[in-house]
Amino acid sequence: MVSDLGDTASDLLQDGGNAVSEIGDSVSDAVSDSDNNLNTPANATAQVPLGDVSGYSTVAQGWGQGKNVDGENRPEACLQYQQKYGELGGVFLGADEPVMTLTFDEGYENGYTAQILDTLKEKQVSAVFFCTLDYIDGNPELVQRMIDEGHVVANHSASHASTPTLTAEEVAQEIQEVHQVVQEEFGYTMTLFRNPEGSFCERDLAIAQALGYESVFWSFAYVDWVVDDQPDPAESLTRLVEAVHPGAIYLLHPVSSTNAAILGDFIDQARAQGYEFTSEITPLET
């Protein structure tokens, strides 16, 4: 783990954490100016000045897709949040097309990631893997395999802390530290961030956006992370298939033996419904 961010986190947040001044060597105008030349996901450096984020709400939002769906089986909460937070780089749902994205949250290794990668390779599906710093440090060979096999390796924070409980400086450091390690050790630039536990506030989205990141949430998830109480594979497969919808972003945990077992069948059944898979998420236009 990199403990010293050096030039990438200097003079952050003056006046009690309300005004971010510098990250790295660059200084420019505030984030509140919509005409600023901020980083973009195509050119993320995680080293731009954040500007003044004090105007953004720090009220915590706990994300979950809910049960209510529209006529296309899309969670209504995703539609509402995409409209509300899309301008801050929040991504809750993909474009209104028969395309979906598989995302995997990697906090620790439980022995199933290699099997999941095998299945994705067999099915020729590219996915997104959101990795914490501990996971990256402990499993460099799996991270390298993700990159080599065309998957997107994404940022799930350094410590998996709930970002609304942190200062703005700490949120920036959570993103920067992982970004820097992956750049230095793998020569790979991350552009997607997922808030731990799905907990976020407007300020967190603004910080991630200023660092060149989109904040990706999900439109489907289920309780799959309790390793000693795994859901029934047949029931889980049915649940995953019945939830399919245009622009779906599935959150799955690789610690799950159930997910590893049913992944191939799910891909086949989703394709039978006319869906394709992509790791390039195009946010729904609202």
Under DSSP, the state recorded for 144 is H
Strands (E), 69-202: 90-91, 99-106, 128-131, 152-155, 192-193, 199-200
Number of Cβ atoms within 10 Å of the Cβ of 196 = 19
Active-site hit among 151, 160, 179, 253:
253
Radius of gyration over every alpha carbon of the chain, rounded to an integer in angstroms: 18
- Three-state DSSP at 52 gives coil
Distances (CA, A) of 73 to 5, 52, 77, 152, 247: 44, 39, 12, 26, 10
Task: Give which of 245, 253, 254 is closest to 275, Cα–Cα.
Answer: 245
Catalytically annotated residue among 52, 105, 204, 224: 105
Residue with token string 């799905």: 198
Q: Is 156 a catalytic residue?
A: no
Give the active site residues.
Answer: 105, 253
